[in-house]
C-alpha cells in the first residue's frame, strides 16, 4: 500500500487508456506521455499497460507500507527517498516506512511513478485511467488527495531482477522549450485559405496557460479562413462547421487567432474548423510542453506518420531486450 502524504499539484492514476467508447462520449484518457509511461512499466517488470501515477509539474510525498520496486520517469522532477536524492529512469527497491518526496520539475510537465505489480483500482469501461470530468476510473474518479491509500498488486514473478535497471541516455526523451510537432493535414482544412495554411505551418506557436489534459491552446499568428458561409446546421462564424466526431490530436481553429489541439480527455465532437491531426507519437511532446513554450507544426504524409509509429515500436522493442538482459 502507498499512503499519500502530499498529493502534489495534480496526481492521478492512469494506464494506457480506455478504448472503444469514444463514440459514446467517453474519451480514452490514459497516460499523457505514453513513451515515458511505458518505459517506467518495463523498468519495474510490468506489462506496459499497468496502472501507475501521473504527476503534473509538482510530485508530492508518498509513504510506502510494504516493500516495493519503483521507478520515476518523464519530466525530471527533484526527488528524494528518505531525504537522499533519487534519480529518474533507474528502478529502486523501497521498504516499508520509506518516504518518497517529489518536488517540482524545471523542464517538461508530466512525470510517472511506476510500481511493480501496478496500482490496484477497479476497471471502469475496460480501463483504470482517471477521467475527472465524468469522475470515472482511477481512485474514486478524481485526483489524489492527502490521506488517500492506494493498494498495489503483487509484483510479477522475477520482478526483483529489475532492481537497479536503467536505460541508456539516448533513449531518455528530451524536454525542450521548443518542439517540432508533426501533423497530417485534412478534415475540414479546405475552409482555411492557402495563405492561412502557410501561416499555420510557417509560424511559431506559444502554449497557453489554459492548456490541460483536455486540450492544449496555442497563440502566435493570425490565420485566414476562406470566408465560406457556414452550412445549414452550423454556427454563424466562418470557423464553424456542422458538428462531427473529433479525433484525439485534432487541430481546431475556434477563431483566426487561436488553435486548439485535443488531448486524451478531449470532448468527442463539435463544430470548429479542424485542419488536421497531430500524429500519436507527438502527442507525448505536446503533453510535456510547458506554458509559454514554443513549437512549429510540420506537415507529414500518412506514410511518414506510420513510419514514425514503427520507429517508436522498434525503439521500445530494443529497450525490452536491453532491460531483460
Tens digit of pLDDT for each residue in 180-210? 999 999 888 778 888 999 999 999 999 999 9
Q: Are residues 136 and 263 located together in one domain of the fold?
A: no
CB–CB of 117/150 below 8 Å? no
How far is Cα 157 from Cα 191, in angstroms, rounded to an integer?
56
**Residues with pLDDT less than 50, the chain:** none
| Dist CA 149 CA 240 (whole Å) | 46
What's the pLDDT score for residue 61?
Answer: 98
- Report helix angle 302-323 to 34-43, nearest 10: 20
The reply to whether 28 and 164 lie within a common domain is: yes
Cα separation of 184 and 313, whole Å?
20
Domain count of the chain?
Answer: 2
322 within a domain of the structure (yes/no): no
Task: State which residues form the domain around 7.
Answer: 2-173
Are 212 and 251 in a shared domain?
yes
- How much is the pTM? 0.93
Write out the three cell numbers for 144: 489524489
Q: Is residue 324 part of a domain?
A: no
My answer on whether 204 and 141 are in the same domain is no
Amino acid at each position: 500500500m502507498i499512503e499519500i502524504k502530499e498529493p502534489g499539484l495534480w496526481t492521478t492514476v492512469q494506464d494506457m487508456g480506455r478504448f472503444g467508447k469514444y463514440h459514446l462520449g467517453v474519451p480514452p484518457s490514459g497516460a499523457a506521455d505514453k513513451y515515458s509511461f511505458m518505459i517506467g512499466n518495463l523498468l519495474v517488470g510490468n506489462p506496459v499497460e499497468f496502472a501507475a501515477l501521473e504527476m503534473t509539474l509538482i510530485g508530492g510525498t508518498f509513504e510506502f507500507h510494504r516493500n516495493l520496486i519503483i521507478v520515476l520517469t518523464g519530466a525530471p522532477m527533484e526527488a528524494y527517498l528518505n531525504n537522499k536524492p533519487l534519480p529518474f529512469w533507474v528502478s529502486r527497491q523501497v521498504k516499508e516506512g520509506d518516504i518518497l518526496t517529489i518536488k517540482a520539475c524545471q523542464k517538461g510537465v508530466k512525470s510517472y511513478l511506476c510500481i511493480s505489480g501496478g496500482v490496484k483500482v477497479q476497471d471502469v469501461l475496460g480501463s483504470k485511467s482517471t477521467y475527472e470530468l465524468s469522475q470515472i476510473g482511477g481512485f474514486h474518479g478524481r485526483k489524489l488527495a492527502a490521506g488517500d491509500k492506494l493498494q498495489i498488486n503483487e509484483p510479477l514473478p522475477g520482478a526483483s531482477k529489475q532492481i537497479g535497471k536503467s536505460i541508456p541516455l539516448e533513449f531518455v526523451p528530451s524536454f525542450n522549450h521548443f518542439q517540432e510537432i508533426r501533423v497530417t493535414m485534412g478534415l475540414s482544412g479546405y475552409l482555411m485559405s492557402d495563405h492561412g495554411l502557410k501561416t499555420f505551418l510557417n509560424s511559431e506557436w506559444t502554449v497557453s496557460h489554459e492548456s490541460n489534459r483536455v486540450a492544449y491552446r496555442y497563440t502566435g499568428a493570425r490565420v485566414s479562413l476562406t470566408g465560406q458561409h457556414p452550412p445549414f446546421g452550423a454556427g454563424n462564424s466562418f470557423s464553424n462547421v456542422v458538428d462531427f466526431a473529433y479525433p484525439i490530436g485534432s487541430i481546431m481553429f475556434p477563431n483566426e487567432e487561436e488553435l486548439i489541439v485535443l488531448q486524451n480527455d478531449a470532448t468527442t465532437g463539435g463544430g470548429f474548423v479542424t485542419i488536421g491531426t497531430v500524429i500519436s507519437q507527438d502527442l507525448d511532446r505536446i503533453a510535456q510542453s510547458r506554458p509559454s513554450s514554443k513549437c512549429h507544426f510540420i506537415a507529414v504524409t500518412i506514410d511518414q506518420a506510420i513510419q514514425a509509429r514503427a520507429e517508436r515500436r522498434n525503439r521500445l522493442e530494443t529497450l525490452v531486450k536491453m532491460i531483460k538482459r
